[in-house]
Structure 1
Amino acid sequence: MSAPHFGYWGKARPLGAAGDDYHLLPYHCLDVAAVGVTLLKRSPALRKLFAEALVLDADEPLYSWFAFCLAIHDLGKFAESFQGQRADLVKRLRGRDPDLGKPYVVRHDSLGWLIWEHHLKDCAADQCWFGPNSEDMLDGIGWWMRASTGHHGLPPDSRGHWRHHSCPEDTAAIEGFLDELRALFPLDAIKHAHAALGTDAFEGRSRDLAWWFAGVTVLSDWIGSNTEFFPYRAEATPLQEYWEEAQERAETALKSVGVLPARCSKRNFAELFAEIATPSPLQIWAIDTPLTSAPQIHLLEDVTGAGKTEAAVMLAHRLMTSGCADGFFIALPTMATANAMYGRIAEVYRKLFEGHPSLVLAHGQRALVEAFADSVLPAGQEEDDTAQRDDTATARCNAWLADHAKRALLAPAGVGTIDQVLLATLYSKHQSLRLLGLFRKVLIVDEVHACDAYMQRVLETVLTFHALAGGSVILLSATLPDQMKHALFNAFARGRSADPLPRTSSPGFPLVTSWHEGQTNAALEPIVAREAVCRDVAVRYVTDEHEVLCAIRQALAQGKCVCWMRNTVSDVLAAHAHFENELDADHLIVFHARFALQDRLATEERILTHFGKSSTPALRAGRLVIASQVAEQSLDADWDMVISDLAPIDRLIQRAGRLQRHPRDTDGARLVDPQATDQRGQPCLWVLGPAWSETPAANWYKQAFPKAAAVYPHHGHLWLTARALQQGRVAMPEDARVLIEGVFGEGAELPSGLQANANQADGAYFSDLSVAQQNTIKIADGYIRGGIDWWSEAKTPTRLGEASMTVLLARWDGDRLRPWAEHENPRHAWAYSSVKVAERLIARRVPESDGAKEQLVKDAEALLPDKGKWSVVLALQETAEGWTGTALSMEQENKPSRPLRWRYDHVRGLEQMQDAECFEQEQE
């Protein structure tokens, strides 16, 4: 085969490896094109998105356009600088040595864009590639080229000139390859689209579609680079012949990797949730409410324990069976809530689909059910070629999937933290792949009220993009301020090009708020509360911690179980110190975010065993849990007595939801009759707070809770909450709306002593909104790097506040370094050994003084997905004080980095062995 483009390698094995040494570049390009085209063929909704936007009424022209764009994704690999990484292959394929004067300093994705921008664009105009109006089309075509060449997960870098990295023969090879591609893949689709839309509309549609096409390119490149499906081919054969073969391989690959839409099975509520004998009023609404085929958003507000999750799943199931969606993703505020939700969804998801779809748990850690995670986009054989300074597609895929967290967005059914969703619209590497993963899924956001100002604004961007692509959304909350509701609904409406929605509100609670395209305003539908969750909760507001300690001891002596929810880890540990010599380890549980993942999961399981729905009086009696905020959401636990430090009213409502949650008799045995009422007497929520004052001083809250003052910085909200609690009772659900609007509503008045703090908090609120606006992608800007810093996913801020560091706990076993957690898979062991700590406290590790030990730590870092770039290995040594280690704090203004000593055990978690110089701000 004499064509010059067959003289270039696209993928290469390390020297000495078995099999063909290389895969010809044109073949790899066709492998990726075949995957993308097959994905489009097997995804009707994705095909419809592109076809309708481009005004195409036939499929084949669209397939050809996809194939052409995807096949040029690796144009940059034709450059001499890239090829020269394997001098032996240049010599073999072209009979010469590479030009050493062209070093590989610009990555091949950006080189591909530069080739288009500085050479091919002019060729396209001069030779009328896209018809007589080719020159007018170039701005629109450019968006497709950016998305295609930007297959490393971010837009290509436009700096530099491609001729600095190439030789004259590269030009001939590229042009020859493009000539064959244009013959193989006619460009009729794009000609027709421009003719139908006109130049401006064509560019606008292309710009918007590029966000999703970029995700298609990344996914296609990963699958098309998997040698299990696409083995190396060094022998030159005609492209037409290879294209037929590549399409067959792509069919096999896509059937195997678990990213295609799953067929939804039709089930009624009783089949999905056989354990629920009588659906709640909210669940009945989800069963019976008429649905439109248009993209839609629903907000389900009901009290804790009212069955919002089941209602949302039922509603999502109906949307899927009616053809409005192909799957779902449930986003939750924290890892703990994601773990708990996974357990609930795992029981029902198989009934939702035909066959064996994948359900994946995703959060910032590792998938916790590896059998499910491994079924989605399995990693390929690593091409560890030290001669290449460019990471391969397989390496990028393996690194991205290494913690399995991100797979959930590609599977038909997923559960994870909201962070995984927010990254889809932040300037973050691989955001386009996340955006593609959300496509045509029902996005269910649980505990949506837990979003702060920054997260809410980022979520608004997600809703706009999701609506633009035709997605639907279900928001769940026990309570949501009207202002936040209005902003979220308007964001979704913007994605459907609707006019701003008028502000609507209702005193009703529970309440369903719904909107779909074509409505002029949101529809409000009050729901009757289920009788079993209607209750009066007494509130005992106390200011003396000694009174709390006495009450806990008395309750434990009476055989009751108790939970004290505190606002910081430091306060949790201080409370633990009061009881550690009074209660044995079986009766005293500490639960907070600063445990290694394996220990934290074990604690969650222990809490659900002792205090979950099926717990018995013997399992419950005399046990105390001291927890941080991680216990307030989604853990289906039930305590006889709950004490909480003063927190904003929405958090207190959540915490009160864990008080006498399941109906029980006077001994604590569960009452199986769903209509039964609890027999333990009136529930009473104890709240420990500052002394109540109508005219509080500026330090009213900070004086009582110095460490928690930064956790809830708007002390006006805390004072308004405390004022509402002075009435001594809360009736749910009738008081819910009044309580929320009384604290967070726009008309709430504050005493003068707290006004300065409120002004500062409001300033921080608007500052956070501004930062979110800067950090989120803009539809109108298009998929372009520009002057924006696109972060690594590990460093992209999905939440503001104090930056945190992933700390990987390890222990010295003689001369061996082991992860804290035991697991047969080393990568899993490291993931289960992870814990989040404020970066201010742990920023870098201290090098080992022993050279051999230092090398062992480096070897361990090399096994990590991030190669130790965004995490810190904290090596612990067993001492008389326990397992201890040292790490360096972050350098701060006027404060140099300093070593801090840490101790870890499975009872108290990770704690500093000396006081920090500044307050300890907690982060879940």
Structure 2
Amino acid sequence: MHLPPSTLEFAQRANGWAARRSPQAKALWAKSGDETGHLCLPQHLVDTACAAAAVYDVWVPRRMKEWLAGRLEIDEDDVRRIYLWLSGVHDIGKATVTFQSQSYKEEFEHLVSAVRDSGLPVEMNSDERSLTKFPHGVASGIILKKWLRKCGYDPGFSGVVDAHHGIPSSGDGANEERSLTRYKSPWKAVHAELLDEMANLTNAREALEHARGDNVKALQILTGLVVMADWIASNQDAFPMVVGESQEERLCRGMEATDLTGPWSPAKTDVGSDRVFERAFGFAPRPVQRAFFDAASHLKQPGLLILEAETGVGKTEGALAAAMAMGKGAQGIYFAAPTMATANGLLERVMKWAESSVEDDHVSSMYLAHSKNQLSESYQKLRYYGVGKDHGKQGHVVASSWMSGRRRGLLSNVVVGTIDQVLMMALKQRYSMLRHVALAGKVVIFDEVHAFDTYTSDYLMRTIRWLAYYGASVIVMTATLPPERRQALVAAYTEAELPDIPSDAYPLITVATQESVETISVDPAPTNLVAEIRYLSDELDDLTAELGELLVDGGCALVICNTIARAQEAYRRIASGYPNDTELHHAGFVAWQRAEKEDGLRAALGPDAHRGQGRPYRRIVVATQVAEQSLDIDADVLITDIAPIDLIIQRIGRVHRHRRPESDRPKRLQSPQVIVRAIVGRDPVPEFDSGAAAIYGTKLLLATLANLPQTFRRPDDIPGLVRTVYSADSRIPSAWARAWEEAVAEDDQRQVEAHSRAGTYMLPVPEEAKQFTALFGLTDQAMAFLDREEAGNAQVRDAEPSVEVIPIVAGESVYRPYGGGFKDFEDSEEPPYKEARHLAASTVRLPARMTRWDDDFDAVVGGLEQITPIGWQQSNLLKGQLALPLDQHGEITIGRFTVRYTDELGIEIVSDGRGSDV
């Protein structure tokens, strides 16, 4: 890594800073545990200040610097000075008796002796002894606040060092402050020395005289940046315990090991949309893509762009091109996909775009943001490249070794990941400041937002509110968007009013900035699908009879069910008549099987397969919502459970998706057909399958059923249908009036409860974050809960808690990985990497009702913990995972449930222990 002159100049001034400190200061230790020795506190402080110089000069994007300067009411050079100074004093709280006298640990005794020999007393006063714990971050905040007040500076900056371990202290700190007040003069002299001399080194005094330290949001970002500098300087591979070179040489070597990449540098976009798309994607833009790119190009400030357009028009490429136009001065982009599977599918597309859409020779770091990224071969291949190598004329993409992991990965330039990783920006969670730093400087792209329920939408709106406050640009893509949801998105980003929109405007682009909102209507595509819609009873016999008639001459049918149990039930019945032509897809298969099944499905029903050349003569695909979005398949006919209108439109997007020769489809399926089921009664009022009602609510199902046309035209009917179904005065038959009133009341209550649940761990809006502690204000216990990634992911989704397990084939004190071709392993044996990787890719979630109640959760999870191979704890890939040991029939009884896993049906509950099969 080539450090800029400004960074090297600071490192040169820092040469000898630690060596010039007093014997008492140099006797204090900051890092230990390395066989080469320990690192003294002054050296760690100056290392961190130098790392901060590199972070600010190399990584921090222009927009973030401008934003911080505006909030602190100083110029960007003064922002740099304050940041370097805060980084250089962040661990001043280690200059305390509590930290230095950890003599109860035998390996620290010699360090304590050195502190005592320097003339610093290591006996605690009574106030310090009375403290149950005294974290050095808390001590740092108190010591710094005293110094700031003494010097006449804003004491608010002390909150940054107080919170640099991920969460600020709770309480008033009176006992801790009293204990420090009673410190003897040698200790106070060391505190003053380190703070004064770091202020002199960083030239921070004049900046502190004028800066405002009461802006909570600016302190949030500064804290995240201090965490970055601290973590870099704390890496012993980069900044070793032994100091045998100049500070400049030490910094250069440390940053080379850190492989930090600079802000994203998209190629010029003022050359016209045709040239931009040709370079980035290799083709000319479609009308919708061109209009979206042009709208982004005309923005003179950060903004929100919403693209509403039908499936298959290239929204992904349109959004990536728009991000290039909006990305000047940004740190990078985050492409937020709805699921891990869709994120994995996007990775290579975004990777190719990232290489071809940046300035020549520019190196961008890339990260796949979800908990199973180590199982993605495409992502792992990136890790073999190094930053700074000769990569030819175009830019290059690498996976930075330092900017990886669940907390640091989001700091990369180009991130593809799940929506959860962005929505956790609005979650009260430890180290949330690092997530804010990572996302505040990015262009954030949200895909498929129509699928969000009320609970998740609350997190989306709050996240967009924070992104807008930071001056980040946001892109939202959807095929279907109710007007109320569009208004909510705009209101989350700006207070400007959304203008009236023609009811039939589609495709539609909405452009919002802090100053204005406008909409752009794009000439609609000609009608590309005319589908007959009719209904089918919910009897399985009628389903199989219907399929028999539809597929008498062959053809490919897609049957979408709302629950796994319904899909398995339908599959069993259909497969009994078409054993070689029926396949099942749902989320209850182990991860690698699901990926294989989806790959096979895309190959058979994708655009390049034709009848007699890959496309099957007859195929019945039974699936859940996994086939609803981001799956490029083309069926001849759709049979779907009732669902809200926008989701039905999404499902219709899998029918007659591609233009095909007539020979690809049998005669009776030449015209698209949509058949709706899961309606168990029609008179006098519709009654829906209980699963559909539980998932979507009766109100939306009634409104959808009332307004579904007999003939659906795409894209003509999309805006009107979505608007009508989601409007307060949706057209409902008078005979349904009472049922409608009850459904509306039930839905209102569901909404209230969802809003309430969402608010439990949600950050306040930026305008309400008045105090630093209010930004994270949770107890340590709650923070510990949300510190786990799985817990955080669950918190931003309104889903029942479920437990992930790994099926294995169990024997007597031995087991073998599920899937065949593996030998047996002892329970106590750590599996080799190849087998561990296969096991880690074999996760599946237990049905939610197995862990819904506390007694069941304890019995199931506790039981599985007892029978999980203990050798897994030695594996980085398997540590903490739960096994599901299956007998020779593929079954296990755990708690009151008997569960079966098979290649054919996936996971299913055979019996619930209450005398009834399921």
TM-score range, shorter chain: 0.7 to 0.9
Residue 205 of structure 2 is aligned to residue 188 of structure 1: yes
Cα distance change, pair 82–829 in 1 and its aligned pair in 2 (3 A): farther
Cα distance change, pair 6–829 in 1 and its aligned pair in 2 (3 A): farther
Cα distance change, pair 878–681 in 1 and its aligned pair in 2 (3 A): same
Q: Is the 8 A contact 2:94 2:140 kept in 1?
A: no
Matched residue, 2:703 = 720
Write the letter of the residue equivalent to 1:834. Answer: T
The structural deviation recorded for 1:218 is 2.6
Matched residue, 2:73 = 55
Residue 714 of structure 2 is aligned to residue 760 of structure 1: no
TM-score (norm 1): 0.81
Cα distance change, pair 627–274 in 1 and its aligned pair in 2 (3 A): same
Q: Is the 8 A contact 2:140 2:161 kept in 1?
A: no
1:393-451: per-residue Cα shift (whole Å, max 9, x none)?
Answer: xxxx99995xx566652222222221111001111223222222212322111111111
Write the letter of the residue equivalent to 2:416. Answer: V
Note the 1:396-411 alignment, pairs <5 A.
404=405, 409-411=410-412
Residue 556 of structure 2 is aligned to residue 561 of structure 1: yes
Note the 1:632-671 alignment, pairs <5 A.
632-668=628-664
1:364-419: per-residue Cα shift (whole Å, max 9, x none)?
Answer: 5335435636868999xxxxxxxxxxxxxxxxx99995xx5666522222222211
Matched residue, 1:91 = 110
Residue 489 of structure 2 is aligned to residue 488 of structure 1: yes
Instruction: State how far apart, in whole Å, the 1-side matches of 2:385 and 2:64 are.
Output: 22
Residue of structure 2 aligned with 1:550, choices 540, 545, 548: 545
Residue of structure 2 aligned with 1:153, choices 166, 177, 187: 166
Residue 306 of structure 2 is aligned to residue 299 of structure 1: yes
> Which blocks of at least 5 consecutive residues in structure 1 are unaligned?
195-201, 380-396, 494-498, 671-677, 888-897
Residue of structure 1 aligned with 2:233, choices 219, 224, 234: 224
Instruction: State how far apart, in whole Å, the 1-side matches of 2:39 and 2:69 are.
Output: 33
User: Which SS does the other structure have where 1:661 is aligned?
Assistant: coil
Matched residue, 1:112 = 137
Instruction: State how far apart, in whole Å, the 1-side matches of 2:847 and 2:189 are.
Output: 55
Q: Is the 8 A contact 1:73 1:148 kept in 2?
A: yes
Cα distance change, pair 636–503 in 1 and its aligned pair in 2 (3 A): same
Note the 1:332-411 alignment, pairs <5 A.
332-353=337-358, 354=360, 355-369=362-376, 372=379, 404=405, 409-411=410-412
Residue 332 of structure 2 is aligned to residue 308 of structure 1: no
Residue of structure 2 aligned with 1:860, choices 872, 887, 896: 872
Write the letter of the residue equivalent to 1:155. Answer: P
The structural deviation recorded for 1:804 is 2.4
The structural deviation recorded for 1:669 is 8.4
Instruction: State how far apart, in whole Å, the 1-side matches of 2:83 and 2:791 are.
Output: 33
Q: Is the 8 A contact 2:589 2:844 kept in 1?
A: yes
Matched residue, 1:471 = 472
User: Which SS does the other structure have where 2:316 is aligned?
Assistant: helix
Instruction: State how far apart, in whole Å, the 1-side matches of 2:381 and 2:37 are.
Output: 29
Residue 277 of structure 2 is aligned to residue 285 of structure 1: no
Instruction: State how far apart, in whole Å, the 1-side matches of 2:847 and 2:164 are.
Output: 33
Residue of structure 2 aligned with 1:265, choices 264, 267, 272: 267
Write the letter of the residue equivalent to 2:744. Answer: A
The structural deviation recorded for 1:601 is 1.4
Matched residue, 2:422 = 421
Matched residue, 1:837 = 846
Write the letter of the residue equivalent to 1:730. Answer: F
Matched residue, 1:739 = 721
Cα distance change, pair 82–624 in 1 and its aligned pair in 2 (3 A): farther
Residue of structure 2 aligned with 1:803, choices 792, 801, 804: 801
User: Which SS does the other structure have where 2:810 is aligned?
Assistant: strand
Instruction: State how far apart, in whole Å, the 1-side matches of 2:914 and 2:189 are.
Output: 65
The structural deviation recorded for 1:650 is 0.6
Write the letter of the residue equivalent to 1:72. Answer: V
Cα distance change, pair 845–217 in 1 and its aligned pair in 2 (3 A): farther
Instruction: State how far apart, in whole Å, the 2-side matches of 1:419 and 1:920 are.
Output: 36
Cα distance change, pair 362–220 in 1 and its aligned pair in 2 (3 A): same
Note the 1:452-601 alignment, pairs <5 A.
452-493=453-494, 499-502=495-498, 504-517=500-513, 519-520=515-516, 522-531=517-526, 534-545=528-539, 546-584=541-579, 587-601=581-595
The structural deviation recorded for 1:76 is 3.6
Matched residue, 2:24 = 4
Instruction: State how far apart, in whole Å, the 2-side matches of 1:918 and 1:772 are.
Output: 37
RMSD of the TM alignment (CA)?
Answer: 3.7
The structural deviation recorded for 1:334 is 2.3
Note the 1:59-78 alignment, pairs <5 A.
59=77, 61-78=78-95
Instruction: State how far apart, in whole Å, the 2-side matches of 1:120 and 1:410 are.
Output: 28
Instruction: State how far apart, in whole Å, the 1-side matches of 2:875 and 2:132 are.
Output: 26
Residue of structure 2 aligned with 1:208, choices 213, 217, 226: 217
Residue 611 of structure 2 is aligned to residue 617 of structure 1: yes
Cα distance change, pair 772–153 in 1 and its aligned pair in 2 (3 A): same
Instruction: State how far apart, in whole Å, the 2-side matches of 1:273 and 1:918 are.
Output: 61
Q: Is the 8 A contact 1:56 1:192 kept in 2?
A: no
Write the letter of the residue equivalent to 1:804. Answer: S
Cα distance change, pair 901–67 in 1 and its aligned pair in 2 (3 A): same
Instruction: State how far apart, in whole Å, the 1-side matches of 2:749 and 2:26 are.
Output: 61
1:301-349: per-residue Cα shift (whole Å, max 9, x none)?
Answer: 11111221121111112223xx253422111222233233334334433
Residue of structure 1 aligned with 2:256, choices 235, 244, 252: 252
Q: Name which of structure 1's ranges 641-650 and 21-30 shifts more when overlaid on structure 2.
A: 21-30
The structural deviation recorded for 1:461 is 1.3
Residue of structure 2 aligned with 1:162, choices 167, 172, 176: 176
Write the letter of the residue equivalent to 1:351. Answer: S
Cα distance change, pair 213–691 in 1 and its aligned pair in 2 (3 A): same
Write the letter of the residue equivalent to 1:280. Answer: R
Q: Is the 8 A contact 1:589 1:626 kept in 2?
A: yes
Instruction: State how far apart, in whole Å, the 1-side matches of 2:648 and 2:850 are.
Output: 29
The structural deviation recorded for 1:527 is 1.1
Q: Is the 8 A contact 1:336 1:630 kept in 2?
A: no
Cα distance change, pair 540–81 in 1 and its aligned pair in 2 (3 A): same
Q: Name which of structure 1's ranges 78-87 and 460-469 shifts more when overlaid on structure 2.
A: 78-87
* Percent of residue pairs bearing the same amino acid type: 24
1:58-93: per-residue Cα shift (whole Å, max 9, x none)?
Answer: 52x333211211123233433333341644334246
The structural deviation recorded for 1:760 is 1.6
TM-score (norm 2): 0.82
Q: Is the 8 A contact 1:327 1:441 kept in 2?
A: yes
Note the 1:809-828 alignment, pairs <5 A.
809-812=807-810, 815-816=813-814, 820=818, 824=833, 828=837
Matched residue, 1:178 = 195
User: Which SS does the other structure have where 1:775 is aligned?
Assistant: coil
Instruction: State how far apart, in whole Å, the 1-side matches of 2:243 and 2:917 are.
Output: 59
Instruction: State how far apart, in whole Å, the 2-side matches of 1:9 and 1:509 are.
Output: 66
Residue 757 of structure 2 is aligned to residue 771 of structure 1: yes
The structural deviation recorded for 1:614 is 1.7
The structural deviation recorded for 1:568 is 0.2
